[in-house]
Amino acid sequence: MSKYRCPECEYEYDEDNGEPREGFPAGTPFAEVPDDWTCPDCGVRDKVDFELVES
């Protein structure tokens, strides 16, 4: 399972934990997150801007 980071605010999407509040339960692969999903913390970077930090 991989981790992806928002390059602006360092929010991390960890596939292990998902982001249940946003509707992505634990284990949701980042690939299943819609492309236009914005960073839940800063809002100014989209999913496609996120960087892979750990796989």
Nearer to another protein by Cβ, of 40 and 52: the residue is 40
CB of 29 to another protein, least distance (A): 15
CB of 34 to another protein, least distance (A): 8
Q: How many residues are there in the chain? A: 55
Shortest CA distance to 15 belongs to which of 54, 45, 49, 42? 54
Residues in touch with another protein (CB under 8 A): 8-9, 11, 21-24, 38, 40-44
Residue type, 4: Y
Nearer to another protein by Cβ, of 48 and 55: the residue is 48
The answer to whether 53 touches 12, Cβ cutoff 8 Å, is yes
